[in-house]
């Protein structure tokens, strides 16, 4: 057990112990002075009781470093107190000594140490009774002492088990809070990365193209080539419209409601329809997915499909796209193929400012998928495979 758990146990146990020993003190004073008035002894007994109570109150500090000294001193104070009030000494011994046994159960987690405290208390009990002289009720006192030790020990065992359970629960709650906070941080980080990918794939690339076109138009204007500059400006206007459309689509993709409540086929159909309306490129689809994909799988896979279609529209110069999606052996297989001009796959990740394919690869890793891209002069093929139940 951790040290602070023990400290909490002792702190929580202080009040019931102080309440009990206070009741024992009052009963002892009344009993002793009812039988034989001993004012000086009562005053000294009161002083020893105060010291005993203060040690109990600060037990969590003393026991953390000098536990054995604490038990020895407390036992000695109880023994002295019993000698000061001989007529009510059984109340002192039976009332105070079992408390030390209960404290040892709460502090020590080794049975050997608890047993030593029990033996120490038994020794003090018998030695005090023998020192005070022959008692006709010795058997009764022994029985009461044993019963008291058993009751206090059982109570202490149950009490500290509950305390330990509470402390463990607090630790688990703290760990859960830390884990929840970490998940929130990772979620926000992933969301920022997702937004960065979408913005780079739309606004950054589109604006970069516009800047280059406008710079070229400015150069032609400086040279007096007005027709060429007008042609470039018209192209820039078209590029600006495409960039705006891409930005709007990226914003739509960021909205969870765009796929929430939809089946995978409905989301795919919606994406294909938008692609056809924006580009006029023919799309041939074959979808055979029976499982209902989780929201995470739908979002990431639809982002990958959308990015592939965007790349076809921007770079492939294709007039037809084939999309095949099959579910087989608990995995989804996606193939996206076009009849465009292709590109050099060795340049993936080496050209600055081009985040589209890198974003596809990153999204595939998020759903523990595998992606393969192959390209020839007659077209490009993208293969994606991922487990159905991942990312739930």
Query: Residues near 355 by Cβ (< 8 Å), separated by ≥ 6?
Result: 197, 200, 201, 204
Specify if 225 maps to a domain.
no
d(CA 84, CA 38): 9
Instruction: Please indicate, yes or no, whether residues 276 and 155 belong to a single structural domain of this protein.
Output: no
Split into its structural domains, the chain has a count of 2
Give the DSSP letter of residue 352: T
Specify if 184 maps to a domain.
no
d(CA 301, CA 318): 22
Out of 146, 177, 208, a domain closes at: 177
Strand 282-288 with 320-328, pairing: parallel
Q: Using alpha carbons, list the distances in angstroms from residue 109 to 55, 66, 120.
A: 21, 16, 18
Instruction: Please indicate, yes or no, whether residues 143 and 17 belong to a single structural domain of this protein.
Output: yes
pLDDT at 6: 46
pLDDT at 349: 56
Specify if 372 maps to a domain.
yes
Instruction: Please indicate, yes or no, whether residues 358 and 270 belong to a single structural domain of this protein.
Output: yes
pLDDT at 205: 66
d(CA 103, CA 97): 10
Instruction: Please indicate, yes or no, whether residues 25 and 151 belong to a single structural domain of this protein.
Output: yes
Q: Is 321 exposed, middle or buried (0-12, 13-18, 19+ CB in 10 A)?
A: buried
Q: Is 59 exposed, middle or buried (0-12, 13-18, 19+ CB in 10 A)?
A: buried
Structure tokens at 231: 């042609």
Instruction: Please indicate, yes or no, whether residues 134 and 265 belong to a single structural domain of this protein.
Output: no
* Cβ-contact 81, 96 below 8 angstroms: yes
* Cβ-contact 146, 98 below 8 angstroms: no
Specify if 17 maps to a domain.
yes
Structure tokens at 316: 């492939």
pLDDT in tens, the chain (392 residues): 444 444 555 555 677 778 888 888 888 888 887 888 788 888 898 898 899 888 888 777 777 778 888 888 988 899 998 888 888 888 888 888 888 888 888 777 778 888 898 899 999 988 888 888 756 777 888 899 889 888 888 888 887 778 778 878 888 888 888 887 787 677 667 767 767 766 666 676 667 767 877 888 888 888 888 888 888 888 878 778 777 777 776 666 655 444 556 788 888 898 888 888 877 889 999 999 888 888 888 888 888 998 898 888 888 888 999 999 999 998 999 999 999 888 877 766 555 544 567 778 888 888 889 999 898 888 999 999 999 864 44
Closest of 61, 53, 160 to residue 103, by C-alpha? 160
Specify if 241 maps to a domain.
no
| pTM listed for this prediction | 0.42
Instruction: Please indicate, yes or no, whether residues 168 and 44 belong to a single structural domain of this protein.
Output: yes
Query: Residues near 59 by Cβ (< 8 Å), separated by ≥ 6?
Result: 10, 14, 70, 103
CATH number at residue 261: 3.30.565.10
Specify if 211 maps to a domain.
no
Query: Residues near 293 by Cβ (< 8 Å), separated by ≥ 6?
Result: 264, 301, 332, 388
Question: Sign of torsion, CA 308 309 315 321?
Answer: positive
Instruction: Please indicate, yes or no, whether residues 263 and 172 belong to a single structural domain of this protein.
Output: no
Domain residues for the domain of 7 are 3-177
Residues 68/3/21/94 CA torsion (nearest 10 deg): -50
Structure tokens at 52: 């005993």
Query: Residues near 392 by Cβ (< 8 Å), separated by ≥ 6?
Result: 294, 296, 297
Out of 138, 160, 177, a domain closes at: 177
Structure tokens at 26: 């009052």
- DSSP bridge partners of 334: 325, 384
Instruction: Please indicate, yes or no, whether residues 155 and 263 belong to a single structural domain of this protein.
Output: no
pLDDT at 333: 95
Query: Residues near 153 by Cβ (< 8 Å), separated by ≥ 6?
Result: 98, 101, 102, 105
């Amino acid at each position: 057990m951790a040290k602070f758990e023990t400290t909490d146990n002792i702190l929580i146990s202080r009040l019931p112990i102080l309440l009990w020993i206070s009741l024992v003190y009052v009963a002892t004073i009344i009993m002793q002075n009812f039988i034989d008035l001993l004012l000086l002894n009562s005053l000294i007994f009161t002083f020893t009781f105060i010291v005993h109570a203060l040690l109990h109150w600060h037990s969590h500090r003393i026991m953390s470093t000098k536990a054995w000294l604490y038990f020895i001193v407390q036992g000695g104070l109880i023994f002295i107190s019993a000698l000061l009030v001989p007529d009510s000494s059984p109340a002192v011994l039976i009332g105070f000594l079992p408390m030390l046994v209960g404290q040892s159960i709460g502090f020590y987690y080794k049975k050997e140490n608890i047993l030593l405290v029990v033996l120490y208390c038994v020794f003090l009990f018998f030695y005090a009774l023998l020192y005070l002289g022959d008692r006709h009720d010795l058997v009764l006192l022994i029985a009461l002492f044993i019963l008291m030790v058993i009751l206090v020990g059982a109570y202490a065992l149950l009490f500290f088990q509950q305390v330990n359970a509470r402390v463990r629960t607090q630790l688990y709650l703290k760990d859960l809070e830390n884990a929840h906070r970490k998940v929130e941080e990772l979620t926000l980080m992933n969301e920022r990365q997702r937004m960065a990918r979408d913005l780079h794939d739309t606004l950054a690339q589109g604006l970069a193209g516009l800047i280059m076109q406008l710079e070229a138009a400015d150069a032609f204007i400086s040279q007096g080539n007005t027709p060429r500059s007008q042609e470039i400006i018209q192209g820039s206007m078209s590029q600006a419209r495409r960039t705006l459309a891409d930005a709007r689509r990226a914003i739509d993709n960021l909205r969870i409601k765009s796929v929430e409540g939809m089946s995978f086929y409905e989301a795919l159909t919606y994406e294909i329809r938008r692609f056809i309306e924006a580009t006029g490129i023919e799309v041939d689809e074959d979808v055979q997915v029976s499982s209902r994909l989780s929201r995470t799988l739908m979002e990431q896979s639809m982002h990958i499909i959308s990015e592939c279609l965007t790349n076809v529209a921007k770079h492939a110069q294709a007039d037809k796209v084939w999309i095949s999606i099959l579910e087989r052996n608990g995995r989804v297989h996606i193939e996206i193929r076009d009849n465009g001009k292709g590109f050099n796959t060795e340049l993936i990740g080496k050209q600055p400012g081009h985040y589209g394919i890198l974003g596809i690869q990153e999204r595939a890793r998020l759903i523990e998928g595998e992606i393969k891209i192959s390209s020839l002069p007659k077209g490009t093929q993208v293969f994606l495979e991922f487990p159905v139940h991942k990312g739930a």
